[in-house]
Every structure is written in structure tokens, then in C-alpha cells.
Copies of this chain bind each other. A is one copy, B any other.
Amino acid sequence: MPVPDEPTPPGGTPRAGSRAAARERTHAGLLDAAAAVFAEKGYGAASVGEIARTAGVSVGSIYAHFAGKQDLFLALMDRRRVAEMDDARRHLADGLPSALHDLDHRVTATADDGRAALLAAEAWLYAMRDPDFGADLAAHQDRLRADLLPLIRAERARRGAAWSLTDEEVATVALGLFSGLVQHRRLARDSVPADLYGRALLALLDGLATRD
């Protein structure tokens, strides 16, 4: 999702102008630069040197903030996760009908955003090679799924019929279709119209009622 990638001041925002605030600024600037470089080059090909240059600091300064390239990447992913959760909770709060229209916009925004889809793919690949990070990412997906569940439950109650998928499975399909359509749209924009996600989800919901 097109996450604004906002900084996360740990334990309260330090007063502007203070030494702690300056440190926070470089810290956040490094994460911004990391997002740009990791997205452009990929994790493997990205170099800490270029990240430092992009952030406008020296190589050595990076190691005063992070243990190394890996730690920097993990910190970046952490920041994106909390931003994505905030974003999701804000947009899902109003119930499913309003959310459906919103989700369409999130598909296109995520696909058309320069870095979001790229970094998500980098994160998934990193997770495939680092079991610990994989567990973190899976837990994050679980939380997203959990946030989706109340809306699905309410919709099922509203329609008052038995479904051929469990609520959790519906949430999984919704999440899977989301990332799948984002990647397809990114590859060939014309093949994924802006409202396809919403229409597909509606058809799915209509078809879930078991037929006898």
C-alpha cells in the first residue's frame, strides 16, 4: 500500500532543535534514503554508500545509527509496517461498503506508487530467505487479516446465508487478490481496471452463499 513512510519517534517526539531531534532527523532521513535506494536497486544490489549519499550523510554515520545494511533494511520494514497498519485501520473503520470503494483506490495507489509494491516484493523475498523476518511478516499479515474479519463477519450476518468459505478464508482471498492484482497492474496497467478489485470482491461475496 502507498504508505507515506512516516518516521516513528520512539517514546515521544523530542523538542525541535534539541540534539535528540537532530539525531531523529538523520535517523528518519536515512530510512527515507534506504526506502528510495532499496526500491530502485533491490536489497542485494543496493549499497550503503549510495544510501548514505542519498541521505546526504557519510558512510560512517550510517553505522552510528544502524548495525549495518541488514539492520537498516529491517528498521525500514518495521517503520513501513506500523504505517500500513495505521492506514488500514483508518480506512476500514467505517465498515465494508465504504471500505470496498476505498480498497479499489488502494489497489491503484499501491500499484502506481513508485516504491510501495517494489518494497513489498523485496520484503517477501527477504522473508523467504530469513525465517525470523518471515515470521514477523506473517504475523503482520495475520493482524491485517484480523482487522478485516469484523467487516466480513458483519457482511455475512447481513446476507444471512451459509458460506462456502470460512470468514478467515474470505479474508485470505481478499488479501491475496489484492497483492496479486497490484502486481499484475504494475506489469500491465491496462489489464487491471481501477475498479476490478471491488467488482471481483462483490462477485465473490455474491457467490459465497451455498446453493442448497
A interface residues, Cβ below 8 angstroms from B: 40-46, 117-118, 121-122, 124-125, 127-129, 134, 137-138, 141-142, 145, 164-165, 168-169, 172-173, 175-181, 183-184, 186-188, 191-193, 196, 199-200, 202-208, 211
Question: Is the pair A128, B186 in contact by a Cβ cutoff of 8 Å?
Answer: yes
CA distance A44 to B118 in the complex (A): 14
Copies in the complex: 2
Question: Is the pair A124, B124 in contact by a Cβ cutoff of 8 Å?
Answer: no
Name 19 A/B residue pairs within 8 A (Cβ), A-sorted: A41-B129, A42-B42, A42-B129, A43-B45, A118-B128, A121-B121, A121-B124, A121-B125, A124-B187, A137-B187, A141-B191, A142-B188, A165-B200, A175-B184, A179-B180, A179-B184, A204-B207, A205-B207, A207-B208
CA distance A40 to B46 in the complex (A): 18
Smallest distance from the beta carbon of A128 to chain B beta carbons, Å? 6
Q: Which residues of B contact A178 (CB under 8 A)?
A: 180
Pick the 6 closest A-B CB pairs, nearest first.
Answer: A44-B44, A207-B207, A180-B180, A176-B180, A206-B207, A44-B45
CA distance A121 to B42 in the complex (A): 12
Residue of B nearest to A169 (CB): B196
Question: Is the pair B188, A141 in contact by a Cβ cutoff of 8 Å?
Answer: yes
Question: Is the pair A141, B187 in contact by a Cβ cutoff of 8 Å?
Answer: yes
Partner of A177, one of B134, B180, B186: B180
Q: Which residues of B contact A199 (CB under 8 A)?
A: 164-165, 169
Q: Which residues of B contact A186 (CB under 8 A)?
A: 128
